[in-house]
Structure 1
Amino acid sequence: MDSTRRRPRQPTHCRLFRHRDDIWDDDFVDVWIDSFHDHRRAYEFVVNPLGLQGDGLATDNNEDFSFDTVWYSRGQINQQGWVAWFAIPFKSLRFTKAPVQTWGITLQREIHRANEKSFWPYTTRREEGIISQNGEIRGMENISPGRNMQFIPYGLFRSFRGLDLRDPNVPGFNSRAAKFDGGLDSKFILKDSLVLDTTIEPDFSQVESDEPQVTVSQRFEVFFPEKRPFFQENSNYFDTPINLFFTRRIVHPQFGSRLTGKIGKYSLGMLLADDRSPGLLVPDNDPLANKRAYFAIGRISRDILKDSNIGLMYTDREFDGSFNRVGGVDATIRLSKTVVSRFQAVESSTQQTDGTYLAGPAFEGDISRFGHSLNADLHYRGRSDGFRTETGFDPQPDIHNEDLNVWYNFWPKKYVLRWGPQFETYRIDDHEGNRLNWGYIPEFFFEMPRQTRLTLGYAEEAELLRPRDFSVLAQNQDFLRNTKLFFFRTAPNKQIIFDIDWRWGRRINYAPPSGVDPYLARRNSVTTDLSIIPTSHLRVDNTYLWFRLGDFNDRGAAFNNHIIRSKWNYQFTPKLSARIIMQYSAVLANPAFTSLATTKNLNADFLISYLVHPGTAVYVGYNSNLQNLDHDLALDTDGNLVRTRNSFINDSRQFFVKVSYLFRF
């Protein structure tokens, strides 16, 4: 397949040779293939002007680029534009056994400097989603993916030294000069459309560290997305309105098995895995030492009506006699071309390790309208006091939450590509009738050429804290907070991508000094990203994050949180690359205004990758971390490690070599 763009007066925008699946800031051509022709899921195959690849699995609500398969591509820049060439083996796709096949297909071209997306067939914003508007490939006869089995064994050598805190009263170090490990990933295609993936002793040494986020003085757990390939692939089979399966809950698996696919109108997802982390984080003499948790996840859905489905989901986590089990029903109903409704109702049953038993229902529902101009979403979230999910991500029980979000798009003919107002309002109550939160958030946004976006916003919000949330409180206490927002992003040329997010106003200090009530503080935060692409082979991504809570009487800051991250990626060839990540993070705390400790951390991560194709690769890496800890690992009166002012110790380091090879039958 060839794709040529003819724009001789505007040179093709291709910044550099990139790592696989990292080409989204370039111009590209994207082929969507709906091999089951059900208008619900599609493969994506993406090529940039240099022939570099990206591939993924997509639904109308989500794109998952953790999917990797073997296919071939080339790209060539010429005077008229550029040409992309695709060769996708049937063995790399899943489809039915029908003697004559009809598939859905969409072709997409993206031109970044103009913020332009073009589709074949014509795709309208007046209908939600792309896959539901596919064109068709007809007349394919007697095709088959053939026998499809894959085995990816790997070998790992590593040398490491790390802080051992299993016994918090006797901290020390754990080290090995040389350790050899190995494991196996496998994939089996069953009945042409079901995929059985298994992993034994999986290793994720080459996976990039998390992007920086503010985690200090947060009331609820902060969400970090999954980056491990085994858990990313085909994860959309487990997606439901309530997040019942957050794969990062499986921290240190020894084995895992996943079955996903589609038979007729039924989509299936099942996963079994263990997690050794609960038994590895306690001293050897602890009764839980070397014990592991077990996860079982199951979901089945059936297509109904047009572009709608109804499903069942069940999750279970078992550990040393305790359990958390959740089951329920969900549905997605397309009411019209522009209106979609989703809902889910589940019940949980939890036996905790201390013998406490909890149970209760949870509900989630929304109705969304997506159009060329008017867009709206009405959302409801309900959680009983006894609802828990230990396999998912749902940090706030005992709530009723209503949320309305409306935005309108204006489409000028000059200068501004799109602009409009957006308004959100919400309210959260508990089951005792207490209003926990309410707020309204008006914004204006402007989109311009060269990926330029400007957003101005304001949030007025109230929050109620209860004695059950903070034991230091004698009674319920209400706080009125606000936030002003300024966001700007632009890519003025092929070498620079820049954005800044600045927020300021009033915010609660959730980490006051011991014995002091939480209080309102002056908040300032800035997150800025600067990507520099000086050559076609080098990309440098820089992030600076600053978060400050200050006293309203100008007596000083409760804390300043600084995070500086710089990632350098050099792509020698499409197969060979080197990556360096350096990150400094610090919480500079004032004990007069916060219970937080001053912490400083410096991390360096180096990786050389030689990726022949997905599954066949060589990785050589080194990671080192420094913290401001006492050299003798002394403890303070509260049993915490003593922090120093400016001296550091190396609390972890690792060197590794990992080799894997794909056998495909």
Structure 2
Amino acid sequence: SRISGVLNQEATMGGLHEISPGRNMQFIPYASFRNFRALDTRDPSQPRFSQIDAQGKFGLDSKFVFHDSLVLDTTINPDFAQVESDEPQNTVNQRFEVFFPEKRPFFLENSNFFGDTSMGVYRLSQLLFTRRIVEPTFGARFTGKQGPWNLGFFVADDRSPGLLVPNFSSFAGKRAYFAVGRVSHDFGEQNNIGVIYTDREFAGFFNRVGGVDANFRLNKNWTSWFRTVVSSTACSPDEPGPTPPEPGSTCGAGPGYQFGSDTEAVLNNIGRRFSYELMFQDITPNFHTDTGFVPRTDIRNLSQYFHFYWRPEGKHLVFYGPEGQTQNYWDHNGVPVLQAYNFDWVFDFKPNLILAPIVAYETDTLRPVDFAGLPSNHRYVQRAVGFVIKGSPLRRLTFNTKVIRDGIVLIDVPVGLLPITGNETAITHTMSLKLTRHLVVDNTYILDRVVNGATHHAAFNNHIIRSKWNYQFTPALSLRLIAQYNGLLANPAQSSLTNTKNMNFDFLVTYLPHPGTAVYVGYNSNLENLVPGLCHQLPGSTVCIPNGPGLVRNNSFINDGRQFFVKISYLFRR
């Protein structure tokens, strides 16, 4: 179909008959028990272990349905011990925050009522990114639809800011409070306009964001999206999170007030043969959101994507064609801080195999505000070649491999040196194997190798290996095993990084006779290359040297964190 959209490319689903509404009230109380040992680095110069031999915890999740279309979800003292750990990503030599998606069920449900930020190939700024809420003790969400009105309201607290600081900090024991609301109105055919407001309060400081958004279906092929918001922030540079101050932000200079704005728009056409997407962003230097995810500010961004596929639908070749993407970023002084151009030619073969060679060209401009040692703006030029191959050529095998050889700006340079262009080899490989009817194995390997472009010596090699095994004994009983290794091998003569090695093991048995009623038994263990005493200690003592370097690494592993837990929940319905 040439009509814009994704769902309309799918087949028609049938077989749904005599569906009745569910119960109007649900209660899921839970009880958990755990013992754990963890590394405490709240005072970086005095790292130590904290340990609890036995800790009980109780909580309650509830759901109330009104008029079959409005839902109130609440949680008291939630526990997420059974949630799977994050999929690995490269976080080394990154100038901006890396996005890790939310996985906790309470925060995922009905999250679309607070705005969809995935428009085709682009991910727009998120005003509600619930991973900012790390240690909640309560939360409530009211969502639903009444006629043409779509409603979404959310409140929660977060103890983590008061738990991340030493006991002598003025922030110790304090918590942050979140409040988010969005109301939108549908009109015409697949059009809507809405308003959104977010607020985070902590220790007398605040961050508030508000504005309007709209979706318009221009015709059967083209759709558009628009949002403009402003932020008002009374900030403290000493708060431990939730987001680092952006370059040029007044939050990095001391307590103060700042005001900013964020305007974004998308025009797209998503079809089987032709797709096109145009995105515009204008985010001022002092725009800030403590409830959301905006990795980069002080930009005006104009980005485009297109593809055109010929579809011979032959014996071996299903479709082929070009894909292209451009990204053009300027700061608010007119400096072109990023210009990127990517092109590939994709081939889709039977049975379900995609191959695409890639070429790219990119320029980055670092300013003194980005790197303190730079006397003036400096432009870095990078080129890239590579390929992607992915698919499911066998019924039991799915894989995705991406290999890129490109230039990169090395910013983690030794003290006293300026950033330099390096040569990067980046490999990402994922493979899923269904070995038996009950066993599925998912493997991931990530390599990021950067060579100093001036000396031609390696700056660092980062290896990440992850293997996840799921065994389904019965429809209700399952076992999950995850093992992950992350090794950063750094050259101190070429980078400011240190050798860091980490091994993590995650074991979980789940008995789930029906959703909401479950028994979880889990064990997590983490190993890291640290000296047994964690730090340089005073002679004849186990106390760290005052104002010392903190954690000291070596080549051997110690266990710096482990947890055993049992969690039981039961679903009551009325």
TM-score over 0.5 for the alignment? Answer: yes
2:5 is aligned to: 128
**1:238-387 equivalent positions in 2, closer than 5 A:** 238-241=114-117, 242-353=125-236, 354-387=254-287
| Alpha-carbon separation, structure 2, partners of 1:315 and 1:240 | 15
Partner SS state of residue 647, structure 1 = strand
Deviation at residue 347 of structure 1 after TM alignment: 0.6
Give CA-to-partner distance per residue, 1:393-430, whole Å, 9 cap, x none.
00211110001111101101311112110111221111
**1:32-47 equivalent positions in 2, closer than 5 A:** none
Give CA-to-partner distance per residue, 1:514-566, whole Å, 9 cap, x none.
11100001100111122222211111111111100012356421000000111
Match of 1:145 among 6, 13, 21: 21
Partner SS state of residue 487, structure 1 = strand
Q: 1:133 to 1:466 in 2, by over 3 A?
A: same
Q: 1:147 to 1:615 in 2, by over 3 A?
A: closer
2:398 is aligned to: 497
Give CA-to-partner distance per residue, 1:169-213, whole Å, 9 cap, x none.
221111111111110000001222110000001000001110110
Contact 2:512 2:519 in 1 (8 A): yes
Q: Which runs of 4+ in 1 moved over 4 A?
A: 131-137, 635-638
2:300 is aligned to: 400
**1:34-183 equivalent positions in 2, closer than 5 A:** 124-130=1-7, 145=21, 148-183=24-59
Contact 1:201 1:253 in 2 (8 A): yes
Q: 1:346 to 1:623 in 2, by over 3 A?
A: same
Give CA-to-partner distance per residue, 1:211-255, whole Å, 9 cap, x none.
110001001000000000000111111124431001100011000
2:488 is aligned to: 587
Query: Which residue identity does 2:67 align to in structure 1?
Result: K
Partner SS state of residue 530, structure 2 = coil
| Alpha-carbon separation, structure 1, partners of 2:376 and 2:454 | 25
Structure 1 residue ranges without an equivalent (≥5): 1-123
| Alpha-carbon separation, structure 1, partners of 2:37 and 2:24 | 41
Contact 1:158 1:180 in 2 (8 A): yes
Contact 2:23 2:573 in 1 (8 A): no
Contact 1:544 1:562 in 2 (8 A): yes
Contact 1:446 1:454 in 2 (8 A): yes
Matched, 1:615 2:516: yes
Partner SS state of residue 550, structure 2 = coil
Q: 1:131 to 1:522 in 2, by over 3 A?
A: closer
Q: 1:352 to 1:417 in 2, by over 3 A?
A: same
Contact 2:410 2:452 in 1 (8 A): no
Deviation at residue 595 of structure 1 after TM alignment: 0.4
**1:416-565 equivalent positions in 2, closer than 5 A:** 416-552=317-453, 555-565=456-466
**1:632-651 equivalent positions in 2, closer than 5 A:** 632-635=533-536, 639-644=549-554, 646-651=555-560
Query: Which residue identity does 1:439 align to in structure 2?
Result: A
| Alpha-carbon separation, structure 1, partners of 2:404 and 2:566 | 43
Q: 1:553 to 1:351 in 2, by over 3 A?
A: closer
| Alpha-carbon separation, structure 2, partners of 1:623 and 1:321 | 37
Contact 1:128 1:337 in 2 (8 A): no
Partner SS state of residue 628, structure 1 = strand
Q: 1:213 to 1:132 in 2, by over 3 A?
A: closer
| Alpha-carbon separation, structure 1, partners of 2:23 and 2:571 | 15
Q: 1:603 to 1:173 in 2, by over 3 A?
A: same
1:82 is aligned to: none
1:568 is aligned to: 469
2:245 is aligned to: none
Give CA-to-partner distance per residue, 1:338-386, whole Å, 9 cap, x none.
1001000101000002421110111000111223322111110110111
Q: 1:214 to 1:638 in 2, by over 3 A?
A: farther
Shifted more, 618-627 versus 453-462: the winner is 453-462
Partner SS state of residue 376, structure 1 = strand
2:251 is aligned to: none
1:214 is aligned to: 90
Give CA-to-partner distance per residue, 1:45-99, whole Å, 9 cap, x none.
xxxxxxxxxxxxxxxxxxxxxxxxxxxxxxxxxxxxxxxxxxxxxxxxxxxxxxx
Deviation at residue 131 of structure 1 after TM alignment: 6.6
Structure 2 residue ranges without an equivalent (≥5): 118-124, 237-253, 537-544
Partner SS state of residue 648, structure 1 = strand
2:290 is aligned to: 390
| Alpha-carbon separation, structure 2, partners of 1:333 and 1:657 | 49
Contact 2:9 2:272 in 1 (8 A): no
| Alpha-carbon separation, structure 2, partners of 1:484 and 1:333 | 38
Give CA-to-partner distance per residue, 1:286-342, whole Å, 9 cap, x none.
111110000000001000111110000000000001100000000000000110010
| Alpha-carbon separation, structure 1, partners of 2:548 and 2:386 | 39
Match of 2:102 among 199, 223, 226: 226
| Alpha-carbon separation, structure 2, partners of 1:132 and 1:145 | 29
Paired residues, number: 540
| Alpha-carbon separation, structure 2, partners of 1:136 and 1:445 | 30
Partner SS state of residue 417, structure 1 = strand
| Alpha-carbon separation, structure 1, partners of 2:234 and 2:131 | 21
1:39 is aligned to: none
Contact 1:296 1:315 in 2 (8 A): yes
Partner SS state of residue 231, structure 1 = helix
| Alpha-carbon separation, structure 1, partners of 2:22 and 2:158 | 35
| Alpha-carbon separation, structure 2, partners of 1:529 and 1:257 | 37
Matched, 1:654 2:537: no
Contact 2:184 2:195 in 1 (8 A): yes
Q: 1:335 to 1:132 in 2, by over 3 A?
A: farther
Identical-pair percentage: 50
Partner SS state of residue 516, structure 1 = coil
Partner SS state of residue 237, structure 1 = helix
Give CA-to-partner distance per residue, 1:586-616, whole Å, 9 cap, x none.
1000011110111000110000011111101
Q: Which has the higher contact order (CA 8 A, sep 6+)?
A: 2
2:506 is aligned to: 605
Give CA-to-partner distance per residue, 1:611-655, whole Å, 9 cap, x none.
1111011110000000001111115986231110x2111110000
Partner SS state of residue 292, structure 2 = coil
Partner SS state of residue 220, structure 2 = coil
| Alpha-carbon separation, structure 1, partners of 2:277 and 2:137 | 42
Query: Which residue identity does 1:640 align to in structure 2?
Result: G
